[in-house]
Amino acid sequence: MEIEILIIDDDPIFHLMISNLLKNLGVSKVKSILDPKEGLKYLLTHKDVPDILFLDINMPKLSGWQLLDSLNNSKVDLLSMKIYIVTSSIDKYDTDKSKGYNIVNFLNKPLKPDTLRKIVVEF
Amino acid sequence: MKNLINYSSINTQPQKELDDLVYLASQIFNTPISLISILEKDRQVFKSRIGLELDQSLKEDSFCHHTLDHPDQPLIVTDALSDKRFIKSRLVTGYPNIRFYAGIPLKNSKNEIFGTFCIIDKKPRVISESELKCLEILSRKAMFHLNSREIISNQQKVLKETSKKIINLERIETSLNKLNTISNYENALFELGFKQNSNRFFLHFLSEGIKNLYPDLNTSLEEIAAVYILRNLNPKQRFKIIRRFFNSLNSEKEVRFEYLKNLNGHKVWYRVIFSSEKKEADFWLVHGIVKNITYEKEYQSALKKILFDISHIIRKPITTIIGLSDLLNTSTDLQLDEKLEIVNLIALASKELEEYTVDLNSDYQDKMDNLIDY
């Protein structure tokens, strides 16, 4: 079965980079959403959640943390997808905060091709 | 000899008393020479003398230095010519041609020998027990007069040191007053008494600085006594602090808290630190300080902003540039137009970075200027 990946990030360049890298890894089922509110709506309304979610933190209108909180309060099955916070932030506050969400993993931008390969292979 | 005060240079009092004693000795013992000798490292100096035309002699010729060998005994030499210790002394071979010597060691308050009281004859003789006793009495009198100088001199030293200390204390007090005036700009010290049974505070002391800290305060003592700090807290905070205060009464631990107050439209941060000390069964002393820490807070928030900006604003274009470069490196199947597109994006991100740094620099400059204004 092919891996499904969802990317929620307001930066179009990040989408360009990650989808190219994923393409190199042979992953083709990639959905890119720029607007976090739209991303939340997508997750709430689609019955089948993606296998992997790459989520940015600092986004206008709705932060990654707020999006996660909304998901936590919904019926979405968070355990059936692997969630990666991907952020350029090296702020200790953000890494500490991610530890409070035991279902998420924390990755720093720029995402290295090797890191991405491991994530996809290990899945 | 190092322990001796400078006896030989004392020529004021009690010179007369010493001269009298030496005179008495020459009359009692009928000796041509009587003297009080002060021992120094290389010589002896004659403090008071009768019948001798020398005011000092070298240690090597000295009889008196030999008292040091037996500090608790008089030194009696009945005939110097038959005593190998003195046979070569110039005081024996030449003037004043000593033959007979009887000397009693003089000691200071530490029981150290500093000199001798002695009688000298130019011909051999003996000294009877009663004569020796008289010599001892005379030497005790001499010792008393000489040591009274030592005591007075020591007391003068103590007085000098004490007066130095007093002068230093005055200096410290002046400095403290100045410091107090300066520290009053941002700090207030207080001491409160507290009785738990009646749950009442008594204001013992409040430094002038309170007027700078709380310019809006009506500074009648009764008003401040109502624990002025607590009045500025919101009810929830007040409850918490009061609870911590009561805990501190048993532990005597330091309590510190910070709060924000709106002062004539300005936000002012205060830090309060206090600790309690039990004095009686139902009485505590509470010592503390109130500080204006607005500057510190502004500084902290500026630092936080810098950290945030580095982490979020500056790093964003950097990660983009690195990510895109990685993409160019690892993707082998990119078309030329795709490659150009990526290069173009790298250029955009670089420009973005450039603009951010200029903006942040001007932001920080403003913040810095504001901080300097404090």
Query: What is the DSSP secondary structure assignment for residue A111, as one 8-state letter?
Result: P
In our burial notation (b when 16+ CB lie closer than 10 A, e otherwise), range B273-304 reads ebbbeeeeeeebbbbbbbbbbbeebbeeebee
Q: Let me know whether B261 and B358 are in one domain.
A: no
The band of A36, judged by pLDDT with boundaries at 50, 70 and 90, is very high
Are B11 and B106 found together in one domain?
yes
| Last residue of one domain, picked from the residues B292, B322, B340 | B292
A110/chain B closest Cα distance in angstroms: 5
Q: Are B16 and B145 within one domain?
A: yes
Same domain? For B47 and B13 the reply is yes
Indicate whether B44 and B100 sit together in one domain: yes
State how far the alpha carbon of B37 is from the alpha carbons of B64, B229, B323, in Å. 7, 76, 100
Q: Write out pLDDT tens, residues A87-112.
A: 888 777 787 888 888 778 889 888 88
Q: Check A109 against B323: CB less than 8 A apart.
A: yes
CATH 3.40.50.10470 correct for A5-122:
no
- B338 and B306 share a domain? yes
Cα separations (Å) of B335 from A28, B328, B340, B344? 18, 11, 9, 14
- For residue B332, is it within any domain? yes
DSSP B51: S
Q: Are residues B304 and B264 in the same domain?
A: no
Higher-scoring residue by pLDDT: B214, B340: B340
Number of folded domains that form chain B = 3
What residues does each domain of chain A span?
A: 5-122
pLDDT tens, position by position, B304-350: 888 888 887 888 889 889 989 988 888 878 889 988 989 999 999 99
Interface list for B 309-328 with A (CB within 8 A): 310-312, 315-316, 318-320, 322-324, 326-327
Whether the CB-CB separation of A110 and B323 falls below 8 Å is answered with yes
Residue B182 has pLDDT above 70, yes or no: no
Using DSSP bridges, classify how beta strands A82-87 and A52-55 pair: parallel, antiparallel or unpaired.
Answer: parallel
Record: contact A13-B320, CB cut-off 8 A: yes
Helices (H), chain B: 15-29, 90-93, 129-183, 210-213, 221-225, 228-231, 235-251, 294-308, 315-330, 336-373
Chain B residues with beta carbon closer than 8 angstroms to that of A111: 323
CA–CA gap between residue B38 and residue B40 (Å, rounded): 7
Q: Which residues contact A9 (CB under 8 A, 6 or more apart)?
A: A15, A32, A34, A54, A55, A56, A59, A86
Segments forming the whole domain that contains residue B239: 187-292
* One domain, residues B272 and B303: no
Same structural domain for residues B201 and B84?
Answer: no
Best probe of the B interface among A7, A10, A16, A54, by most B CBs < 10 A, is A16
Is B110 within the bounds of a domain?
A: yes
pLDDT digits (tens, 9 = 90+) for B93-149: 999 999 999 999 999 888 899 999 999 999 999 999 999 999 999 999 999 888 887
